């Protein structure tokens, strides 16, 4: 343990962020790393409590508590406090294949279960994680680890999101020959096309993919399994297959007026924006442009927030985000105790930016869209809404009731639907003829075997839309099971 009294002596310091109005002028990352000196102090705040809830990684009442990859958090907090960065990196890489992703965009369920957070703000774990790996790259410590021998076994991974990449990394290090197939033109799944550049710059992904390729992993882009290569062909060519196809089947809005022009899925908006930025710095015009428009995002989650931030950078005239639920409380509610994930009010980067530009938080709570109205050209013109009250019926079931007299008409020339995802896309799953669990691939947690021999599934395709850190965890575990399947035993963690 670094400093026994650190948690008493030092306050939490947040990662620095670029000025909201300044960062709206570009697509660069908004958060800035703390100095080594500040990070040392933050590391000293870890009380090494003995039972590190921060690294337990489980679900309590459907919410993640602790770190799903079981990062050895108190150990590297201590090493950072002592300035032993290289050893901190070694410890971090034992559990997390890609800390440069999680250290930037993980919602940090570790911090919600940090013991210090019972009485004080949590240790800034995520910032420390990011700093360790960024330093690792800067110092030249991240060099290719080329396996000394090969087993001769061939594995195909379908999908190059964090689950597929983590599985590929583990299996390659175990000496297998791994090929990752991706239907998009770039590797990374939602890391690349989904999460916007201002949260996660794409050079960070490309740097990692380059390293993985140098280590021997084959990447095949622009190739859809189930269309360009059949499931049968893939099974014939490889000893094992892992389906890491994500859960990008989008939930649609069923409503009068849904067909008007100008209404898009959030993912189409975000994907096209990133692709056009990377391909041509927007010169190709191949994106949905919010410039000068009134934008409404339907859906109160993080995907919606990313749409808000993107629309702001495109100079929209106004932007609001509709959410179904009420505003969260400042402090934990009595039924949301530590070490559960804290359901408390936070101001994400997108809301800070909207506030800076338009003077108000864009979130509208407890609101329901009743109908969408278009103009004579068939373009969306306005949304008609009503406020709702979240209450309980006589059986204690949560219900939403309309509040009479709260009807409102909102002008809108662009509407983004961000109301969630329904599971993985069915075409490829059907071709592999694996059993399904709703729209997800059926494979038991911890085993990852599907109903088809030699075919495994991991990440969002198996568990539904989740978090990067869970995808990495599942990719790692599925790799261990594939290794066991092929070799009879496995040394993979």
Ligand X SMILES: Cc1cc2nc3c(=O)[nH]c(=O)nc-3n(C[C@H](O)[C@H](O)[C@H](O)COP(=O)(O)OP(=O)(O)OC[C@H]3O[C@@H](n4cnc5c(N)ncnc54)[C@H](O)[C@@H]3O)c2cc1C
Give yes or no for residue 92 binding ligand SF4 (CB under 6 A): no
With H, G, I as helix, E, B as strand and everything else as coil, classify residue 105: helix
Binding mask 202-241 for ligand X (x = CB under 6 A): ----------------------xxx---------------
302 near ligand X, judged by CB under 6 A: yes
Q: Tell me if 167 sits within 8 A of 482, measured CB to CB.
A: yes
**Residue 471, contacted partner among ligand X, ligand SF4, none, CB below 5-8 A by kind:** ligand X
> What's phi and psi for 225, nearest 5 deg?
-75, 135
3-state secondary structure of 425: coil
**Helix, strand, coil in percent for the chain, rounding step 5:** 35, 20, 45
Binding of residue 160 to ligand X (CB under 6 A): yes
Q: Return the number of the residue (74 or 109) whose C-beta is nearest ligand X.
A: 109
- Is the distance from CB of 399 to CB of 393 less than 8 angstroms? yes
Q: How far is the CB of 290 from ligand X (least distance, A)?
A: 16
129 binds ligand X, rule: CB under 6 A: no
Choosing from 47, 72, 125, 316, the residue that interacts with ligand SF4 (CB under 6 A) is: 125
Q: Residue 356 Cβ, how far from ligand X at the closest point, in Å?
A: 21
| C-alpha–C-alpha distance, residues 297 and 288, integer Å | 14
Cα dihedral 149, 154, 155, 156 in deg (nearest 10) = 130
Q: Which of 102, 197, 271, 310 binds ligand SF4 (CB under 6 A)?
A: 102
One of 471, 478, 482, 486 touching ligand X (CB under 6 A)? 471
Those residues with Cβ within 8 angstroms of residue 166's Cβ, 6 or more apart along the chain or in another chain: 97, 98, 471, 472, 473, 474, 475, 476, 479
Q: Which of residues 261-300 bind ligand SF4 (CB under 6 A)?
A: none
Cβ contact 275:285 at 8 Å: no
Q: Which of 2, 257, 423, 459 touches ligand X by CB under 6 A?
A: 459
Q: For residues 161 and 176, what is the distance between their CA atoms, to the nearest angstrom?
A: 20
**Which residues from 97-126 bind ligand X, rule CB under 6 A?**
105-107
Contact call for residue 108 and ligand SF4 (CB under 6 A): yes
Instruction: Closer to ligand SF4 by CB, 71 or 385: give it.
Output: 71
Of positions 75, 425, 477, 483, contacts ligand X by CB under 6 A: 425
Q: How far is Cα 305 from Cα 301, in angstroms, rounded to an integer? A: 6
Kindly tell me the burial class for residue 481, based on how many C-beta atoms sit within 10 Å of its own C-beta (0-12, 13-18, 19 or more).
buried
Distance in Å, CB of 439 to ligand X, minimum: 13
Binding test (CB under 6 A) with ligand X, winner from 115, 245, 310, 449 = 245
Of residues 276 and 385, the one with the C-beta less far from ligand X:
276
Query: With CB cut-offs between 5 and 8 Å by kind, which of ligand SF4, ligand X, none does residue 290 bind?
Result: none
DSSP structural state of residue 229? B
Binding-site member from 6, 52, 109, 475 for ligand SF4 (CB under 6 A):
109
Nearest distance in Å: CB 127, ligand SF4 = 9
Question: Which run of H or of E encompasses 440?
Answer: strand 440-441
Shortest spacing between CB 277 and ligand X, in angstroms: 15
**What Rg, from alpha-carbon coordinates, does the chain have?**
23
Q: Is 71 in the site for ligand SF4 (CB under 6 A)?
A: yes
For residue 163, state whether it binds ligand X (rule: CB under 6 A): yes
Segment 321 to 340, residues that bind ligand X, using CB under 6 A: none
Among 270, 288, 298, 457, interactor with ligand X by CB under 6 A: 270
Give the phi and the psi of residue 176 in degrees, each rounded to 5.
Answer: -85, 160
> Closest by alpha carbon to 219, among 246, 189, 187?
187
Using CB atoms within 10 A of its CB, is residue 372 exposed (0-12), middle (13-18) or buried (19+)?
Answer: buried
From candidates 24, 110, 242, 319, binder to ligand SF4 by CB under 6 A: 110
Kindly state the smallest distance separating residue 476's Cβ from ligand SF4, in Å. Answer: 12
Residue 428 in the binding site for ligand X (CB under 6 A) = yes
DSSP labels for 334-393?
TTS-TTSPP------HHHHHHHHHHSS--EE-SEEEEEEEE-TTSBEEEEEEEEEEEEE-
Among the listed residues 29, 75, 129, 182, the single contact to ligand SF4 using CB under 6 A: 129
Kindly determine how many residues on this chain lie close enough to bind ligand X according to the rule CB under 6 A: 41
Per-residue CA distances from 36 to 90, 130, 269 (Å):
18, 12, 38
Q: Which does 263 bind (CB under 5 to 8 A by kind): ligand X, ligand SF4, none?
A: none
- 73 or 163: CB nearest ligand SF4: 73
Torsion of Cα atoms, 362 then 364 then 370 then 374, to 10°: -10
Q: State residue 21 phi and psi, 5-degree precision.
A: -70, -35
Residues near ligand SF4 (CB under 6 A) are 67, 69, 71, 73, 96, 102, 106, 108-110, 125-126, 129, 469
Q: Give residues in contact with ligand X (CB under 6 A).
A: 105-107, 158-164, 181-184, 189-190, 194-195, 199, 224-226, 244-246, 248, 270, 302-303, 306, 425, 428, 459-461, 465-469, 471
């Amino acid at each position: 343990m670094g400093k026994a009294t650190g948690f008493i002596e030092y306050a939490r310091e947040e990662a620095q962020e670029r000025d909201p109005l300044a960062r709206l002028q570009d697509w660069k990352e908004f958060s800035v790393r703390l100095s080594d000196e500040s990070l040392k102090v933050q590391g000293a705040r870890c009380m090494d409590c003995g039972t590190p809830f921060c690294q337990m990684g489980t679900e309590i009442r459907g919410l993640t508590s602790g770190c799903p990859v079981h990062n050895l958090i108190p150990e590297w907090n201590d090493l950072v406090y002592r300035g032993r960065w290289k050893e901190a990196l070694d410890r971090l890489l034992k559990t997390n294949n890609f800390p440069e992703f999680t250290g930037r965009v993980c919602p940090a369920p570790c911090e919600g279960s940090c013991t210090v957070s019972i009485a004080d703000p949590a240790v800034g774990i995520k910032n420390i994680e990011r700093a360790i790996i960024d330093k690792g790259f800067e110092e030249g410590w991240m060099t290719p680890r080329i396996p000394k021998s090969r087993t001769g076994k061939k594995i195909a991974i379908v999908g190059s999101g964090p689950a597929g990449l983590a599985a590929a990394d583990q299996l390659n290090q175990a000496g297998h020959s791994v090929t990752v197939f991706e239907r998009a033109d770039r590797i990374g799944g939602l890391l690349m096309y989904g999460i916007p550049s201002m949260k996660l710059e794409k050079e960070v992904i490309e740097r990692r993919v380059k390293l993985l390729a140098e280590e021997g992993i084959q990447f095949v882009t622009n190739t859809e399994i189930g269309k360009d290569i059949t499931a049968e062909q893939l099974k014939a060519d490889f000893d094992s297959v892992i389906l890491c196809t994500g859960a990008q089947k989008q939930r649609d809005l069923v409503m009068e007026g849904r067909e008007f022009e100008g209404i898009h899925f959030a993912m189409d908006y975000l994907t096209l924006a990133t692709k056009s930025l990377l391909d041509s710095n927007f010169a190709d015009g191949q994106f949905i442009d919010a410039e000068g428009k009134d934008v409404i995002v339907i859906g109160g989650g993080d995907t919606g927030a990313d749409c808000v931030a993107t629309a702001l950078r495109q100079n929209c005239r106004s932007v609001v985000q509709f959410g179904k639920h009420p505003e969260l409380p400042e402090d934990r509610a009595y039924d949301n105790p530590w070490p559960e994930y804290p359901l408390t009010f936070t101001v994400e980067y997108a809301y800070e930016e909207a506030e800076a530009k338009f003077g108000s938080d864009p979130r509208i709570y407890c609101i329901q869209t009743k109908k969408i109205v278009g103009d004579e050209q068939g373009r969306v013109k306005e949304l008609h809404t009503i406020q709702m009250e979240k209450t309980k019926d006589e059986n204690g079931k949560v219900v939403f009731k309309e509040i009479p007299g709260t009807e409102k008409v909102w002008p809108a020339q662009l509407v983004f639907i961000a109301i969630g995802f329904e599971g993985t896309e069915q075409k490829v799953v059907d071709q592999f003829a694996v059993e399904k669990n709703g729209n997800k691939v059926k494979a038991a947690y911890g085993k990852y075997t599907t109903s088809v021999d030699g075919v495994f599934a991991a990440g969002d395709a198996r568990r539904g839309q989740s978090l990067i850190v869970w995808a990495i965890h599942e990719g790692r575990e599925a790799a261990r099971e594939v290794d066991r399947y092929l070799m009879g035993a496995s040394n993979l963690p």
